[in-house]
Amino acid sequence: MKALVVFALVGFSAMTLADEARPTEAEQIAVEQYHYGMRLDIAKVISSTSIPDVCNVVPAHMTYEDSNGQRHVLQYQVMGNGCTGG
């Protein structure tokens, strides 16, 4: 009986590790770097990173689907929301 419990726990542990090793969808999609004048085919925005409260230019990411339904991840530069004064 003890052996059966040990085998069940080992099997469950292996399944858990296999799930953790599987890359997420965002990790499978290559990140494209935006450059000025780049033509984008954005049919639907899936997600975008929030802009931090800093007074610097920071990288941001947007995940989107194009008109063919393929997902893309775009990295671009934005000014942070932390600047005060004029």
pLDDT above 60: residue 17: no
d(C-alpha 13, C-alpha 36), whole Å: 48
Domains detected in the chain? 26-79 (2.30.140.50)
CA distances for 27 relative to 4, 21, 50, 53, 55, angstroms: 37, 12, 19, 26, 29
Greater model confidence, 33 or 22: 33
Record the pTM: 0.62
CB 65 within 8 A of CB 73: no
CB 76 within 8 A of CB 34: yes
pLDDT in tens, 37-75: 999 999 999 999 999 999 999 999 999 999 999 999 999
d(C-alpha 28, C-alpha 33), whole Å: 16
CB 64 within 8 A of CB 75: no
